[in-house]
Amino acid sequence: MGKYLLAEGYKLTRRSYLWLALLITGALELLLVVLFAALNGDVTNMTASVGLTVLLYLLPFGYYATAVTGDIVFSEQYKHNTLKNEVAYGLPRLRIYFGKLLASTLLALAACAVLVLWYGLLCGVLLPGDGAMLNAWRTVGFGLLTALPVWLGAQSLYLMCFFVFRGSTAATLVGTGILAILGQALQLLYLLVSVRVPALGEVVLVLQDLLLTAPLEGLIDDVWNWSRMGWSWAVGLGWCAATTAIGCWSFHRREIS
Amino acid sequence: MSKPILATRALTKRYGAAAAVEDVDLCLEKGQIYGLVGRNGAGKTTIIRMLTAQTLPASGEIELFGETTPRGLSAARARVGAMVEIPSFYPYLTAAENLEYYRRQRGIPGQACVGQVLEQVGLQGAGKKKFKHFSLGMKQRLGLGLALMNHPDLLLLDEPINGLDPEGIVEFRNLLLDLNRQRETTILISSHILSELSNVATHFGFLDKGHMLEQISAQALREKCRACLQITVDDTARAALALEQRLDTRDYEVLPGNVLRLYGFLDRPQAVAAVLTEMKVALLGLENRSANLEDYFLGLIGGVRHG
C-alpha cells in the first residue's frame, strides 16, 4: 500500500488540476477576507478572530470539495483505460480501491490543512486583531474535528461513485445528488406521511439523522457539543464503511477494458 | 515435458448466453514464442484479458508459474509483462512520467530502468511530449516499454504491431527475438498479421469462434505446409504402390477423400501422371500445392467466408 500511495503522490503532484483547484480556492479565500477588511468601518467590525470563525459557516462546502479530490485521484481511469495497467500486473483490486480511497482522503486532509492555514493567515494579517485568535482557532479546530468524519463519508461516497459509474460527470452528479437532494426528499416524505402515519414519520426522522449532512446542520450555534461530535463520527464512519463495501463489491467483478 | 509457464484448462468466458471463449486449453513452456492466431472476434483478446485479470472467466482454470489460486495468480502476475489492445496511459504525463508512476506503484527498484526501457523501445527522444500528443506507433512503443519494465518471464502481447511503421515492425521483431534468446522470455503474441507471426513464433494456437482448433509447433506446421503434388485418384492403395514401385519414393501421405500428397517430383507432374496411368489408376486431379500459415489457418476454419 505504501508503494501505491507513493505512486499516487507522484502522479498527483504532476496534475495541473490539483494546483489550479488550490489556487482558485485560495484566491476566493483572499477575496472574502479582503471584502471583510474593505467593509470594516462604522457599521461592521470584523476582527481577525471573528473572521476566522466564519470558517464554520463554510464547513458544508467540504462535502462537495471531496468530489474534486476524488476526481483528481481517480483521474478518469475508465475513460483513459489505465486500470488495466494495474490489474494486469497482479495488483489486487482491493488494494487499488483502498489505495485510491486513502490517497484521496490524504489529499483532502492536506488540501484542507493548507486552505485553513492560508485563511487563518489572511485573517491574521488583513483584519484587526482582538486578542481572541487562540480561542477562535480552538473553536474552528473543534468544528473541523466534527466535520472531518462526515467529510470522510462524503469522500468514500464520491469514490464509490467514481468506481461504479464510467463517467466522472455522472459519478459527481450522483454523489452530489445523494448529498444535496436526499435530505430534501426525506423532508418532503416526512411532511407527506407524518400526519397520516406518525410511526412512519418517526422512521423518516431517524433516517434524516443518518444523513451525512445532518451532523453539520446548526453546528454554528452549537460548536462545543461532544454528543454532536460523536454523532458525526458514527454517521461519517458508517457511510464510509457502507459506501466502501458497495464500491469494492462493484469493482471486484468489473470488466476492465 | 517441463512444467508449463502458462496453462489454461477448459477456460470459458460468456457474455450472456454467447460464449466468447469456450473450453480453451493452452499450454506454454519456457522459452516458447506462442502465436495465437484467429480472425477478429475469435476470442484472442478475451483470452489475454482473462490471463491479465481484466475480466473473470465464467469457468475453467488458469495456471501461471504453477499458481492457480487467486492469491497465487496475483503474485505470479508480477512476473508478467502485458500489452492488451491499444496501450493506455495518463494523457497529461510524459512517457517517462507514466513509466515512473508504474515503476513506483509496482516497487521496481532503480529509477534508471525507466530511461533504459525508453531507449530499448526507441522513445528516448520523446522528452516532455505528453502522452495525449503521441502517435499510435509511439503509444505502442510505450505500451511495450511498460510490459518490459519489470523484466518479465512471460510477455502477453495482444496485436502489438498495430500502428507500427515497417521499420518499427522489424525493430519490434528483433526485440522479441533478443528477449527470447537472451533471457528465455516466454511470449504469447496474438495477431491477425499472420506473416509477421510466422517470422517469430515457435508454436501456434489456432482459434475460431472461441474454440481452440489446433495447437501445433512451428516445425510441425512447416512439415504440414511443405510443397507437394496433391493427387486425387480412384484407388489410393494402387496409387501408393505405383509411387513406391515405379518412382521409388515413400515421401507421400494418404489423406481422406482418395487424396495423396507426394512430397517430391514437383517439377515432373507429367511423369507422375504417366506412372499412375500405366498402373491403371484413374487420375481425377493433380495439382501443385504449397501452403503458408494463412492458407493453413483458412483451411482449418473452412476457407474464407463471405458476407
- Is residue B300 over pLDDT 80? no
Q: Is the pTM of this model over 0.90?
A: no
Tens digit of each residue's pLDDT (9 = 90 or more) over B16-48? 888 888 999 998 999 899 999 888 888 899 999
Which of B78, B93, B101 is the closest to A90 by Cβ?
A: B78
- Is residue B287 over pLDDT 90? no
Spell out which residues of chain B touch residue A88, defining contact as CB-CB under 8 Å: 52-54, 77, 80, 82, 84
Name the grid cell of B229: 503434388
Torsion of CA B188, B192, B196, B200, to 10 degrees: 20
**B67: number of Cβ within 10 Å:** 16
Interface A:B, Cβ pairs < 8 A: 79
Which of B53, B97, B100 is the closest to A88 by Cβ?
A: B53
Which of A4, A6, A89 is the closest to B77 by Cβ?
A: A89
Cα–Cα distances in angstroms (integers) from residue B241 to residues B174, B230, B263, in the given order: 48, 16, 16
Which of A4, A81, A255 is the closest to B88 by Cβ?
A: A81
Handedness of CA B20, B25, B28, B32 (dihedral sign): negative
Under DSSP, is residue B130 helix (H, G, I), strand (E, B) or coil? strand
Using the 8-state DSSP alphabet, how is residue A255 labeled? P
Spell out which residues of chain B touch residue A80, defining contact as CB-CB under 8 Å: 88-91
**Which residues are bridge partners to B15 per DSSP?**
B18
State the pLDDT confidence band at B1, using cuts at 50, 70 and 90. Answer: low
What pLDDT sits at residue B285?
Answer: 87
Name the grid cell of A230: 460523536
Tens digit of each residue's pLDDT (9 = 90 or more) over B255-273? 888 888 888 788 888 888 8
Measured in whole angstroms, how far is the alpha carbon of residue A60 from the centre of its chain? 8
Q: Is the separation of the CB atoms in B300 and B293 below 8 Å?
A: no
Tens digit of each residue's pLDDT (9 = 90 or more) over A106-135? 999 999 999 999 999 999 999 888 888 899
User: Which is higher by pLDDT, B220 or B58?
Assistant: B58
Tens digit of each residue's pLDDT (9 = 90 or more) over B125-154? 877 889 999 888 888 889 989 999 988 999
- Is residue B306 over pLDDT 80? no
What pLDDT sits at residue B109?
Answer: 87
Asked whether the ipTM of the predicted complex exceeds the cut of 0.90, the reply is no
On average, the pLDDT of chain B sits at: 86
* Cross-chain Cβ contact A89/B80 below 8 Å: yes
Query: Above pLDDT 90, what percent of chain A?
Result: 52
* Cross-chain Cβ contact B75/A90 below 8 Å: yes
A245 to chain B, closest Cα gap in Å: 20
Q: What is the mean pLDDT of residues A231-256?
A: 92
Tens digit of each residue's pLDDT (9 = 90 or more) over B93-132? 999 999 999 999 988 888 888 888 998 888 888 778 899 9
* Cross-chain Cβ contact A84/B150 below 8 Å: no
State the pLDDT confidence band at B242, using cuts at 50, 70 and 90. Answer: confident
* Domain of A14, in residue numbers: 2-253
- Is residue A220 over pLDDT 90? no
When divided into structural domains, chain A yields a total of 1
- Is residue B303 over pLDDT 60? no
B52 interfaces chain A, CB cutoff of 8 Å: yes
A110 to chain B, closest Cα gap in Å: 21
On average, the pLDDT of chain A sits at: 90
Q: What is the mean pLDDT of residues B78-86?
A: 89
B139 interfaces chain A, CB cutoff of 8 Å: no
A176 to chain B, closest Cα gap in Å: 26
Report how far apart the first and last C-alpha atoms of chain B are (Å, whole number).
44
Spell out which residues of chain A touch residue B106, defining contact as CB-CB under 8 Å: 3, 89, 91
Tens digit of each residue's pLDDT (9 = 90 or more) over A1-37? 888 999 999 999 998 899 999 999 999 999 999 998 8
Closest residue in A to B109 (Cα–Cα) = A3
Using the 8-state DSSP alphabet, how is residue B80 labeled? E
A104 to chain B, closest Cα gap in Å: 16
* Cross-chain Cβ contact B100/A10 below 8 Å: yes
**Which residues are bridge partners to B187 per DSSP?**
B33, B155
What pLDDT sits at residue B7?
Answer: 92
Closest residue in A to B72 (Cα–Cα) = A90
Which of B54, B92, B100 is the closest to A87 by Cβ?
A: B54
Tens digit of each residue's pLDDT (9 = 90 or more) over A138-181? 999 999 999 999 999 999 999 999 999 988 899 999 999 998 88
Which of B82, B85, B90 is the closest to A75 by Cβ?
A: B90
B241 interfaces chain A, CB cutoff of 8 Å: no
**Could you tell me if residue A167 is left (phi over 0), alpha (psi between -120 and 50 degrees) or otherwise beta?**
beta
Q: Which amino acid is at B23?
A: D
What pLDDT sits at residue B302?
Answer: 64
